[in-house]
């Protein structure tokens, strides 16, 4: 087992999970190498809103996670995540001291509101036991730092870059060696025991073998950008990627190579969105993120959603505004019709009128790539000129532009307007005050597709973040963190992946650094 160089701990992937893993390992005294496949850091985490899901009570948090995962995730894994959520606010505040970042919890931000509204805003997404224990913690400012200049390639939520900046500064101060544009391609393991000894790393045309004397942490994300994996693991086709071109399932393949067991592969976090007309634009563009609402409290929704979705036959088929639209709305679009041998809802067709077009930007682009960022216009007219949105002076004209039967589209809109007049969506239960009729010409529409924000599946990990093999034994010296094999196996919890990145990153990094070091042989550089 000869290597070109060696470290105590090697971490693959520099999003929040990888950053926290590398930081924890370095703070534990391990010489740590952090490798990132992309030429820029941040992964998918930097595109988030940066809301770290936090909890007041361990028992309540655990009860909620247990219910929302429907028996698909072991109790001890959920217990570890729940405990981490209970301490995450204090951890974020402690981390923020490095650059004077300002941290606020949602409880603190709502302190001037009435008690009832505060309580409602800080719950989980669903009425499961323990839901009221949850709230969010976020970095709201980094004094003296313009994160748009620090990370100009990051196009997403406002809080993600600020939270990432805090972790990034710690990684640099801790002496972690960071290498960008360096992809981990294989795990190197001792054949007899499948014990992980190091990694193969590709940097440009060069491949190096790097030893990990103590352990390896895989924090390299999911498989949103791997078309072959999506076609095999997911029912709906196509399933478009919203942000992460480097998330090609590398960690899944490497862990499988050593016999890893997989879980939650079907579970994706996503909604529906637009395709850019530029074939070189690499991402789908998700629809605007409307505020979530709590089941049973539909009557409290106030923001109008100006569109409906029709399938290829011109019929509505779902509530376009679900309690957590950006998580579960992707699911109905995956329906397969065995009669027509097609996915008749993918694409679906978003329809609105001129009043709806004026309400707010209909799309929200996300990316973490130099030179890729796209800004959606406030009035949606740029997208009309580009051809992302089609315009028609009448519904019939719009139908022809979209390739739909005019009579079917007119009937679908007429049915919707009748429901709006009654003030009740008797078909699919959309919140009544969020309904908006479609009557004012010109009319606008676009095909919208099933869009993945991120995948949740991957190699199974235990409460210690060890990767588990097909026979339920840990693969020696191999750990995972973050989105790669997430604990969320049924329903997601908003802000949950961000919390999970920080919690599991810390656990994986500390545990890898605590292992006894192996002796390795490093090849001497050749002398010309």
pLDDT in tens, 312-371: 999 999 999 999 999 999 999 999 999 999 999 999 999 999 999 999 999 999 999 999
Q: Over 90: is that where the pLDDT of 381 sits?
A: yes
Among residues 87, 16, 12, 28, the alpha carbon closest in space to that of 55 is found at 87
Q: Starting at the edge strand that comes first in sequence, how are the strands of the sheet with 102-105 ordered?
A: 52-55, 134-141, 102-105
Query: Could you tell me the CA-to-CA distances from 476 to 183, 193, 194, 516 in Å, in that order?
Result: 22, 8, 7, 12
**How many percent of the chain have pLDDT more than 90?**
93
pLDDT at position 122:
78
Q: How far, CA to CA in Å, does 340 sit from each of 317, 336, 344, 352, 405? A: 17, 9, 8, 27, 17
User: Can you give the pLDDT at residue 117?
Assistant: 47
Categorize the per-residue pLDDT at 276 as very low, low, confident or very high, splitting at 50, 70 and 90: very high
Rounded Cα distance between 424 and 409, Å, is 20
Phi-psi region of 124 (alpha: psi -120 to 50; beta: other; left: phi over 0): beta
Confirm if 155 and 366 have CB atoms less than 8 A apart. Answer: yes
227 near 19, Cβ under 8 Å? no
pLDDT band at 109 (very low <50, low <70, confident <90, very high): low
The DSSP letter of residue 283 is S
Confidence at 242, pLDDT banded by 50, 70, 90: very high
Q: Nearest 5 degrees, angle CA 322-CA 305-CA 374?
A: 95
pLDDT at 193: 72
- Give the C-alpha separation, 276 to 448, whole Å: 11
Question: Residue 502: its pLDDT value, please?
Answer: 98
**Domains defined for the chain, CATH in brackets:** 2-266+456-522 (3.50.50.60), 268-452 (3.90.700.10)
At residue 525, the pLDDT reads 59
pLDDT of residue 112: 44
- DSSP state letter for 126: S
The structure tokens listed for 95 are 């981390």
C-alpha R_g of the chain: 24
Highest mean predicted confidence (pLDDT) among 102-116, 187-201, 437-451: 437-451
pLDDT tens, residue by residue, 245-258: 999 999 999 999 99
Q: What is the pLDDT of residue 379?
A: 98
**pLDDT, tens digit, 9 for 90 and up, residues 120-137:** 567 999 999 999 999 999
Looking at residues 153-170, what average pLDDT do you find? 95
Can you give the pLDDT at residue 474?
98
Kindly tell me the burial class for residue 154, based on how many C-beta atoms sit within 10 Å of its own C-beta (0-12, 13-18, 19 or more).
buried
Residue 58 CA to residue 54 CA, distance in Å, equals 10
Residue 444 pLDDT class (50, 70, 90 cuts): very high
**Cβ–Cβ under 8 Å, residues 363 and 285:** yes
The tens digit of pLDDT for each residue in 33-65 reads 999 999 999 999 999 999 999 999 999 999 999
**Upper half-sphere CA count for residue 377 (Cβ side, 13 Å):** 12
Question: In this structure, are residues 137 and 89 in contact, taking their beta carbons and an 8 Å threshold?
Answer: yes
Tokens of 274: 């637009």
Q: What is the pTM of this model?
A: 0.95
Q: Taking residues 468-493, what's their average pLDDT?
A: 97
CB atoms under 10 Å from CB of 417, counted, come to 17
CA–CA separation, 460 vs 468, rounded Å? 5
Largest CA distance in the chain: 84
Contact 98, 170 (CB under 8 A): yes
Average pLDDT, the chain: 95
Residues 6+ apart with CB under 8 A from 356: 304, 306, 307, 436, 438, 444
* 421 Cα distance to chain centroid: 37
For 385-420, the pLDDT digits (tens) are: 999 999 999 999 999 999 999 999 999 999 999 999
> Residue 528: which pLDDT band, with cuts at 50, 70 and 90?
very low
């Amino acid at each position: 087992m000869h290597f070109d160089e060696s470290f105590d701990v090697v971490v693959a992937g520099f999003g929040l999970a990888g950053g926290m893993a590398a930081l924890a390992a370095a703070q534990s005294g391990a010489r740590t190498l952090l490798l990132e496949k992309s030429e820029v850091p941040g992964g998918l985490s930097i595109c988030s809103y940066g809301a770290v899901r936090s909890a007041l009570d361990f028992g309540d948090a655990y009860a909620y996670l247990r219910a929302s995962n429907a028996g698909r995730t072991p109790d001890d894994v959920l217990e570890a995540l729940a405990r981490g959520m209970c301490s995450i606010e204090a951890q974020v505040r402690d981390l923020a001291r490095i650059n004077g970042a300002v941290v606020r919890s949602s409880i603190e931000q709502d302190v001037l509101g009435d008690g009832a509204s505060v309580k409602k805003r800080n719950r989980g997404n669903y009425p499961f036991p323990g839901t009221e224990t949850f709230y969010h913690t976020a970095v709201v400012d980094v004094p003296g730092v313009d994160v748009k200049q620090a990370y100009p390639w990051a196009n997403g939520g406002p809080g993600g870059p600020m939270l990432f900046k805090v972790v990034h500064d710690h990684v640099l101060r801790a002496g972690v060696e960071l290498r960008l544009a360096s992809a981990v391609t294989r795990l190197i393991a001792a054949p007899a025991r499948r014990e992980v000894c190091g990694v193969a790393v590709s940097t440009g045309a060069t491949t190096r073998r790097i030893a990990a004397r103590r352990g390896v942490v895989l924090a390299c994300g999911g498989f949103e950008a791997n078309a072959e994996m999506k076609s095999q693991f997911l029912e709906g086709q196509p399933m478009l990627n919203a942000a992460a071109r480097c998330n090609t399932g590398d960690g899944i393949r490497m862990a499988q190579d050593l016999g890893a067991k997989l879980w939650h592969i079907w579970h994706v976090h996503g909604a529906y969105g637009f395709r850019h007309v530029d074939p070189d634009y690499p991402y789908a563009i998700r629809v605007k993120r409307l505020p979530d609402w709590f089941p049973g409290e539909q009557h409290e929704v106030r923001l109008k959603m100006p569109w409906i979705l029709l399938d290829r036959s011109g019929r509505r088929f779902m509530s376009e505004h679900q309690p957590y639209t950006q998580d579960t709305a992707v699911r109905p679009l995956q329906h397969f019709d065995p009669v027509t041998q097609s996915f008749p809802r993918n694409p679906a067709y978003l329809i609105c009128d001129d009043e709806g077009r004026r309400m707010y930007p209909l799309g929200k682009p996300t990316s973490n790539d130099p030179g890729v960022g796209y800004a959606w216009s406030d009035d949606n007219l740029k997208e009309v000129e580009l051809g992302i949105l089609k315009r028609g002076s009448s519904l019939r004209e719009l139908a022809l532009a979209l390739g739909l039967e005019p009579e079917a589209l007119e009937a679908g809109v007429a049915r919707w307007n009748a429901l709006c007049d009654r003030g009740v969506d008797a078909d699919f239960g959309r919140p009544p005050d969020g309904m908006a009729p479609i009557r004012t010409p010109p009319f606008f529409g676009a095909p919208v597709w099933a869009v993945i924000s991120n995948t949740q599946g991957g190699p199974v990990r235990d409460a210690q973040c060890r990767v588990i093999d097909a026979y339920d034994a840990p693969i020696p010296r191999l750990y995972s963190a973050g989105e790669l094999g997430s604990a969320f196996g049924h329903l997601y919890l908003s802000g949950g992946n961000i919390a999970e990145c920080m919690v599991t990153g810390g656990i994986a990094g500390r545990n890898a650094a605590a292992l006894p070091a192996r002796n390795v042989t490093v090849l001497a550089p050749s002398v010309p």
